[in-house]
Structure 1
């Protein structure tokens, strides 16, 4: 759950009141802000503004650009100043973990593909989800190496699913997912979301160890509808 931990750290950096005030000031400006501007705006010393601005840059909340505030160029124009603006990175924390942005992206890609090719939208959604799962599998292989046996493939799949908030748990001869990252959507559109989820996890395991690892559509109370099993 590396992404979750990074988000917690980034958002936690704003718990300090002065830092939060600086962040809100920077975000409210139409352009990048200098240390002097930030310090003057909230009434603190420049060195204190520098400390907090650099801390927020290190945590990914702000990003820095460099420019000459005088607007002059060439010799005698002076050194460039470090300016701060809100970072493009998005922070979101949900307990338990949810992946609604991923679901929205898969669905919008499927709708676009259906409009472009005439493929039924449900078929497009399941195909797009499977392709995303395969991409997750490729990333896991790139990071950890190709699994040498079904057990290693299961471990790799479990690690990849943990990263996306599924909370895999061993239960007898199979691995269940204690958390559904698409929970609210699944409650509203159970069949659509569960089959999309099954296609995604199937794409993952098929990239890791076909046919030695199976993703089974196995709905249960208070958990994800998909489980993993070694046939």
Structure 2
């Protein structure tokens, strides 16, 4: 129904949406309103064809004008593209393309970490609590963190896969700089983002606490 409404280039009634996929009007209404709740459609009451008829004005639906994508496991290719684009635009004289990308990645990560810290307001942190906070933030970023030991967090998902497989030195370096920036922005003491060998689909970086407890 969503595809039908996008292709209609005009507001669509519940009856039209139901007919497009061969379901009842009642079932169509349920799913259409769910799409509205999700922000993919917007709805209003409007006379079809601009002609007011006797009876209740029908509810019509049209695209909300937002982009929507689902990937399982989570992928964040847009983040990587933004970093590379910004690196090209801001590259300074004497700076290599790689160095520019690493700089931008670290800055982008630090901004995210600082914003998360302002929101979470964690107070003073020791290394172990710092790892816990970092796990929470990286889960939001799609890395699927898992605590392996009290001082080690492995990241089960690479949001930049499969692009990391095409240029591992570059993408993994960007990823390490990005995650290191998040740690810096969070002001987490004694935690490092370290490059490691990772299984296919896993992240090439893990987080290690330099001290236990705290």
> What TM-score, normalized by structure 1, do the two folds share?
0.73
Q: Does 2:142 correspond to 1:159?
A: no
Distance in 2 (CA, whole Å) between partners of 1:49 and 1:177 is 40
Instruction: Answer yes or no: is 1:53 the counterpart of 2:32.
Output: yes
How big is each residue's C-alpha offset from its partner over 1:130-149, in whole Å with a ceiling of 9 and x where there is no partner?
12212221332233213421
- The residue aligned with 2:170 is 192
1:63 is the counterpart of 2:42 = yes
Q: 1:62-104 CA distances to partner (integer Å, 9 max, x unpaired)?
A: 22356565659xxxxxx98643123313121223x32222212
**Corresponding residue for 2:113?**
137
Q: 1:176 aligns with which of 142, 145, 154?
A: 154
Check whether the contact 2:110–2:185 (CA below 8 A) recurs between aligned residues: yes
Gaps of 5+ in 2: none
| 1:44 to partner: Cα distance | 6.1
Taking structure 2 as the reference length, the TM-score comes to 0.78
Cα offset for 1:183?
2.5
**In 1, distance between residues paired with 2:160 and 2:21?**
41
What RMSD in Å do the two structures reach over aligned CA positions?
A: 3.0
* Structure 1 residues 32 and 106, CA gap change in structure 2 (3 angstroms): farther
CA shift, 1:48, in A, is 4.7
Match of 1:148 among 124, 127, 133: 124
What's the CA shift for 1:127?
1.8
Extract unaligned runs of 5+ from structure 1.
Answer: 1-21, 73-78
Q: Alignment partner for residue 102 of structure 2, among 126, 138, 148?
A: 126
Q: Distance in 2 between matches of 1:80 and 1:130?
A: 54
Q: Which one of 67, 72, 97 corresponds to residue 89 of structure 1? A: 67
Give the Cα–Cα distance (whole angstroms) in 1 for the partners of residues 159 and 23 of structure 2: 43
Indicate conservation of the 8 Å contact 1:185/1:193, yes or no: yes
Higher RCO, 1 vs 2 (CA within 8 Å, ≥6 residues apart):
2
| Number of residue equivalences | 203
Moved more, 145-154 or 63-72: 63-72
The CA deviation string for residues 107-163 of structure 1, in whole angstroms up to 9 with x for no partner, is 12212223xx54532222112211221222133223321342123221111111112
CA distance in 2, matches of 1:198, 1:189: 14
More deviation in 192-201 or 38-47?
38-47
Q: What is the CA-CA distance between 1:199 and the residue it aligns to?
A: 0.7
- SS of equivalent to 1:183: coil
What residue in structure 1 maps to residue 3 of structure 2?
24
Using the TM superposition, give the Cα deviation of residue 27 of structure 1 relative to its aligned residue in structure 2, in angstroms. Answer: 1.9
Counterpart secondary structure, 2:146: strand
Q: CA deviation at 1:184?
A: 1.6
